[in-house]
């Protein structure tokens, strides 16, 4: 069964917009993030069970502050305004918003009125994250105050009859202890949702729809072995079987054994045509003598497309081309910023010379964690589903300077040891991305009685949720020691190992 219930999240520019959408979905209700200035007609068309206004950096009194149509409050659809969203609701409906002398920031003791549906089942005092300077000084007429802190007189308000609610704190973040329960109460006690968004339904529904749409027509998929393309491919294979052909371009820049592992999983477990192209020599040829990271990326992206096109031509005209696009790639903010598309994260854009009629994007509505859940639902091995991000250009951007076959071998071995020891220490789930880098630096060492002059391997490990910022992981010294000693003992031409202790920013996660 398809999810029928929808919560619309109006984006006013706050940093937690996507998080709010994910939290709503975690509560089994489908949600979409839309620009704050979405038209009333569009809202009516979408017929949501409820609307959430996000926070945002603006002040309601600001000249260009984002505002939605006043009419939204008369639609009879329940609304929850968070932070700026609450202030906007108060301001529009005749309340007073003022600027405080100091910002209230951090985990704060909030007193709440637990007779409000929003706080049903709560103690009268709770820790929530506050982060604001403006605040609602006077709630609009018809509203009642339902929360306050020692410095914020109106940290929550409601108009039960009109189903309008506002909270100054952020229920979506982990620092707000029972935050998720506030969201649940809004969904289930105010909007009367039943909770029809579950991954098993998504899978069944998608398979059915893909079957109807594609039938026995031919479909092509570029499989990288990453989570998104793998889940998309398996979903399609369940729907159309051998009418799906997956082309796996192995550019030779994958981690140790990875190409073989991908091949094994897809040829043994799924009903689809699998074509592996071993194109390492082609890529290394093109990359010969190239040292500039952006040039490497460009060459690999372009070559990838050429190889894919050549293989596709052998198959002939196809009707559909599969793309592993996911929801964060398509959200529009409406605030003048461009949508969150990390162009450099696509292996190489769209092929120009492949004959296809239409693109299918079966994961377009899913967040990354939902893609993983879908993968598990489809029976894809955990190892693949929880695979850490791996850049399209692969090890090419982890070898500083020129790439050669010998350097690739060194890096693959060192990286494999690092990954093995991280798994042995049971750290593989808590570190979000970790890998070895082959620096271009050679230094003097001593092995036995011999002087050596060999490469330095750098280890990189970061903890992050969004990969936009991150901190270096505090791997215990004994684990680092084991990794270092194994690498210099087992990998020829490496005599030194260093650990990268820089966070992002100012450093990036990758070295190139
Ligand atoms: P940086 O190095 O920018 O990386 O901090 C952030 C995340 O993006 C990945 N990354 C890439 N992924 N193609 C990709 O598909 C690329 O060219 C690329 N560069 C960086 C990186 O591994 C990290 O997860």
Residues 253-267 have pLDDT tens digits of 999 999 999 999 999
Ligand 1, atom 11: nearest CA belongs to which residue? 391
- Report the C-alpha gap between 204 and 349 in whole angstroms: 29
Which of ligand 1's atoms lies nearest the C-alpha of 510?
Answer: 2
Choosing from 391, 508, 511 the residue with most ligand 1 atoms within 8 A of its CB, the one to mutate for a pocket test is 391
Residue 387, CA distances (Å) to 156, 256, 270, 418 in order: 41, 14, 19, 15
Per-residue pLDDT reduced to its tens digit, 33-47: 999 999 999 999 999
Q: What is the mean pLDDT of the chain?
A: 93
Whether the CB of 509 sits within 6 Å of ligand 1: yes
Asked whether the beta carbons of 169 and 81 are under 8 A apart, the reply is: no
Q: Ligand 1 centroid vs 388 CA: distance in angstroms?
A: 11
Q: Give this prediction's pTM.
A: 0.87
Per-residue pLDDT reduced to its tens digit, 135-184: 999 999 999 999 999 999 999 999 999 999 999 999 999 889 899 999 99
User: What domains can be seen in the chain, in order of their start residue?
Assistant: 6-190 (3.40.50.880), 199-385 (3.40.50.620), 404-499 (3.30.300.10)
Could you list the active site residues? 83, 170, 172
User: How much is the pLDDT for 355?
Assistant: 76
Can you give 402-444 as a three-state secondary structure string? CCCHHHHHHHHHHHHHHHHHHHHCCCCCCCCEEEEEEEEEEEE
Q: Ligand 1 centroid vs 35 CA: distance in angstroms?
A: 27
Ligand 1, atom 22: nearest CA belongs to which residue? 391
User: How much is the pLDDT for 333?
Assistant: 61
Band the pLDDT of 2: cuts 50, 70, 90: low
Asked whether the beta carbons of 48 and 77 are under 8 A apart, the reply is: yes
Choosing from 301, 344, 437, 503 the residue with most ligand 1 atoms within 8 A of its CB, the one to mutate for a pocket test is 344
User: How much is the pLDDT for 338?
Assistant: 37
Q: What is the mean pLDDT of residues 276-302?
A: 96
Whether the CB of 467 sits within 6 Å of ligand 1: yes
Per-residue pLDDT reduced to its tens digit, 21-31: 999 999 999 99
Where residue 391 falls (left for φ over 0; alpha for ψ -120 to 50; beta otherwise) is: beta
Q: Ligand 1 centroid vs 299 CA: distance in angstroms?
A: 16
DSSP string, 78-91: -EEEETHHHHHHHH
């Amino acid at each position: 069964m398809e999810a029928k219930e929808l919560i619309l999240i109006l984006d006013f520019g706050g940093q937690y917009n996507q998080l709010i959408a994910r939290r709503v979905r975690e509560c089994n209700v489908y949600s979409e993030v839309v620009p704050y200035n979405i038209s009333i007609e569009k809202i009516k068309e979408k017929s949501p069970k409820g609307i959430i206004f996000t926070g945002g950096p603006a002040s309601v009194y600001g000249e260009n502050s984002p505002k939605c149509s006043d009419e939204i409050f008369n639609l009879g659809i329940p609304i929850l305004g968070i932070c700026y969203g609450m202030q906007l609701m108060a301001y529009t409906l005749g309340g007073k918003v003022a600027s405080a002398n100091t910002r209230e920031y951090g985990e704060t003791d909030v007193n709440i009125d637990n007779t409000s549906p929003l706080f049903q089942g709560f103690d009268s005092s709770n820790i929530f994250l506050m982060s604001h300077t403006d605040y609602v000084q006077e709630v609009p007429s018809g509203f009642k105050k339902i929360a306050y802190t020692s410095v914020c007189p109106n940290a929550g308000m409601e108009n039960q009859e009109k189903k309008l609610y506002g909270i100054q704190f952020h229920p979506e973040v982990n620092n707000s202890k029972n935050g998720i329960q506030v969201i649940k109460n809004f969904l289930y006690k105010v909007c009367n949702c039943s909770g029809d968004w579950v991954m098993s339904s998504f899978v069944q529904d998608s398979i059915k729809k893909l079957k109807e749409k594609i039938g026995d027509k031919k479909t092509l998929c570029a499989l990288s072995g990453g989570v998104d393309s793998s889940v998309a491919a398996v979903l399609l294979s369940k729907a159309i079987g051998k009418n799906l052909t997956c082309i796996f371009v192995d550019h030779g820049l994958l981690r140790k054994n990875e190409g073989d592992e991908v091949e094994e999983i897809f040829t043994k477990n799924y009903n689809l045509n699998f074509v592996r192209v071993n194109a390492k020599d082609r890529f290394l040829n093109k990359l010969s003598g190239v040292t500039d990271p952006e040039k490497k990326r460009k060459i690999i992206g372009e070559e990838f497309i050429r190889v894919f096109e050549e293989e596709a031509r052998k198959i002939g005209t196809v009707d559909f081309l599969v793309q592993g696009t996911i929801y964060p790639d398509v959200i529009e903010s409406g605030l003048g910023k461009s949508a969150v598309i990390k162009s450099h994260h696509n292996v190489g854009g769209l092929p120009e010379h492949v004959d296809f009629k239409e693109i299918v994007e079966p994961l377009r509505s899913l967040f990354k964690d939902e893609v993983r859940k879908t993968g598990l639902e489809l029976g894809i091995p955990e190892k693949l589903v929880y695979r850490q991000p791996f850049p399209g250009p692969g090890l090419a951007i982890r070898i500083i300077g020129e790439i050669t076959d010998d350097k690739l071998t060194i890096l693959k071995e060192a990286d494999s040891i690092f990954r093995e020891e991280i798994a042995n220490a049971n750290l593989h789930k808590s570190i979000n991305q970790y890998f070895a880098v082959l620096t271009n630096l050679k230094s003097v060492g001593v092995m036995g009685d011999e002087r050596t002059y060999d490469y330095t391997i750098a280890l990189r490990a970061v903890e992050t949720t969004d990969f936009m910022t991150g901190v270096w992981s505090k791997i215990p010294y004994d684990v680092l020691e084991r990794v270092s000693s194994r690498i210099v003992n087992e990998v020829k031409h490496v005599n030194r190992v260093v650990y990268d202790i820089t966070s992002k920013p100012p450093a990036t996660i990758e070295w190139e």
